[in-house]
Amino acid sequence: MDARLKSTIVGIYLVLLSAVSGGVGISVLQVKPFGFLDSVIVGVAFILGSIVCWGWACFARKELFE
């Protein structure tokens, strides 16, 4: 597996993880299963995690895996 392929796989993984964690965050904010404050903290943390993964997906360059 060369660096280019690795970077592509990591990029796709990060994008999908971004969608899933964002989805979990939004659902936690909607349902609020852990009480108001805990749910808001968990939901916001997941949405922030989603944004971090989304931002990092762009930087999964092949140089990082050489």
Partner 1 sequence: MQEKNSSNKRNSFLFFITFLGIVLAFLFASLFSMVMLYYTGTILSKIVLTICIILLGTIVGILVQAFVKKEIVSRSYFPLCHDLLHEFTLCARCKGFYLGLALFTALVATRNSLFLDFLNVVGIFPYTVILVLLLLTVPIHGAARRLRLVDGTILLHVVGFLFSISLYQIAGLIVRLLYSA
Which residues of the shown chain bind partner 1 in the complex (CB under 8 A)? Answer: 8, 11-28, 30-31, 33-34, 38, 42, 46, 49-50, 52-59, 63-64
Dist. CA 23–CA 41, nearest whole Å: 15
Using an 8 Å Cβ cutoff, are 58 and 5 in contact?
no
State the nearest-atom distance from the C-beta of 13 to partner 1, in Å: 8
Handedness of CA 13, 15, 18, 20 (dihedral sign): negative
State the nearest-atom distance from the C-beta of 1 to partner 1, in Å: 15
State the nearest-atom distance from the C-beta of 48 to partner 1, in Å: 10
